[in-house]
Amino acid sequence: MGESSNGCSHDRTDVHHVKRDGYWGSDGVTTLLGAQILPQRPRFVRERAELPGHILEPAWAGTRVLVRIGHGEPHFLGYDGPVDGPRELYEAIVAVARCETATLDGVLVDDWKDESDLEVDDSGNAYTRQFGSRQIFAAFDLLEVDAEGLLEVPLLERKRHLEGVLTSSQNVRLTPFVTRALRTWHDTLVTQGFRRAVLKNWNSSYAPGKTNDDWLLVEKLKAPPPR
Domain locations in the chain? 10-114+124-222
Q: How many CA atoms lie within 13 A of 134 on its CB side?
A: 16
Give, for all 227 residues of the chain, the pLDDT tens digit.
343 333 343 444 444 333 333 343 333 334 433 346 899 999 999 999 988 999 999 999 999 999 999 988 999 999 999 999 999 999 999 999 999 999 999 999 987 766 544 455 566 554 444 555 688 999 999 999 998 999 999 999 999 999 999 999 999 999 999 999 999 999 999 888 899 999 999 999 999 999 999 999 999 988 776 66
Residues 6+ apart with CB under 8 A from 11: 1, 2, 164
CA-nearest of 104, 68, 211, 208 to 152 is 208
In this prediction, residue 120 carries a pLDDT of 53
Assigned CATH for 10-114+124-222: 3.30.470.30
Alpha-carbon separation of residue 204 from 57, 109, 195 (angstroms):
15, 25, 24
What is the pTM (predicted TM-score) of this model?
0.79
Residue 178, Ramachandran bin (φ over 0: left; ψ between -120 and 50: alpha; else beta): beta
CA-nearest of 43, 176, 181 to 106 is 176
In this prediction, residue 134 carries a pLDDT of 82
